[in-house]
Amino acid sequence: MSNESKTVAVLGAGTMGSGIATVMARAGHRTILFDVNENNLKRGIETVHGFFDKSVRLGKLDATAGQAAKDALVGSTDLTDLAPCDVVVEAVFEDLQLKKEMFGRLDEIVSSSTLFHTNTSTLSVTGIASGSRLPERVVGTHYCNPAPLMKLVEVADGRHTAGWAHKATEEFLGSLGKVCVVTKDRPGFIVNRFLIPWENSCIRALEAGVATKEDIDTAVIGAVGHPMGPFRLLDIVGLDIHQQVATRLYEQLRDPRFFPPPMVERMVAAGDLGRKTGRGFYEYENTRLFGS
């Protein structure tokens, strides 16, 4: 796959979908952000535009490039608009049947050479690929959150992923400025296999009164060298997303380290999901899910 401009679609206008769409538009690709819900789609586009506007204000992107990136993005609630796509990135809710159905419907719309990428990290790439009549073109591409700021993408082949699809995927991700790591199609891949138990440990330490959230975050940044503490990161990801990912991994691996602590359940029940709701472990006036 050449580095020339492509037509790319991102399915799902939530946190990850909006972030991935930002990456695509910034790289100069014509980007279609798809969502079945018009309100979600509007919020997603506003999030992407807000990222570029802030990048321009901070001098990280010149005004012409910022406007070009915004112009590269369009929204749609109609799957048939994805017909010209070279790459489709699926970032919808972590539901196996839903993901399979999306790829099955797209089989009837896009070219047989279109790459299908799934951003899952808890479900089987092989299982998702089974929804397509061409499972050889389906590749797992798990973008680290927040996608516009994190360079790492985990690449996982399904059982029937073809060599050409894997190669084209790595080339495409490289054109986005991403760093690829290859992992097997296993629950959690590399990052969440380590990250989820660690985040749960930090939450349990907070629950036990070991230290405040501020001091735990400061300790992790200062001693471990992470760019962000666990509670700031969880607020960006969303406590509801953490709960879903942790629960799915626990169900598959049966390792108690993956089971979300009671505090997570209470926060989700209260609607304190993180930055997107204005309150999580911290409170926020600006609810934009990612900044520049």
The CA distance from 140 to 183, in Å, is: 9
Greatest CA span in the chain, whole angstroms?
56
Active-site residue flag, 40: no
Neighbours of 88 (CB within 10 A): 26
Name the token pair of 190: 């590399």
Neighbours of 175 (CB within 10 A): 17
Instruction: Determine which one of 90, 136, 154, 199 is catalytic.
Output: 154
Which residues, including other chains, have CB under 8 Å from residue 32's CB and lie 6 or more apart?
7, 8, 9, 10, 74, 75, 76, 81, 82, 85
Continuous H helices in 115-229: 125-129, 163-175, 191-207, 213-219
Active-site residue flag, 192: yes
Instruction: Determine which one of 142, 199, 200, 242 is catalytic.
Output: 142
Instruction: Determine which one of 18, 55, 121, 145 is catalytic.
Output: 121
Say what angle helices 191-207 and 262-270 make with each other, to 10 degrees: 90
Continuous H helices in the chain: 15-26, 38-57, 63-71, 96-107, 125-129, 163-175, 191-207, 213-219, 230-237, 239-253, 262-270
Active-site residue flag, 121: yes
Are the C-beta atoms of 183 and 189 separated by less than 8 Å?
Answer: yes
Active-site residue flag, 145: no
Instruction: Determine which one of 29, 192, 199, 200 is catalytic.
Output: 192
Q: What is the CA radius of gyration of the chain?
A: 19
Strand-pair partners of 274: 279
The CA distance from 178 to 20, in Å, is: 11
The residues carrying an active-site annotation are 121, 142, 154, 192
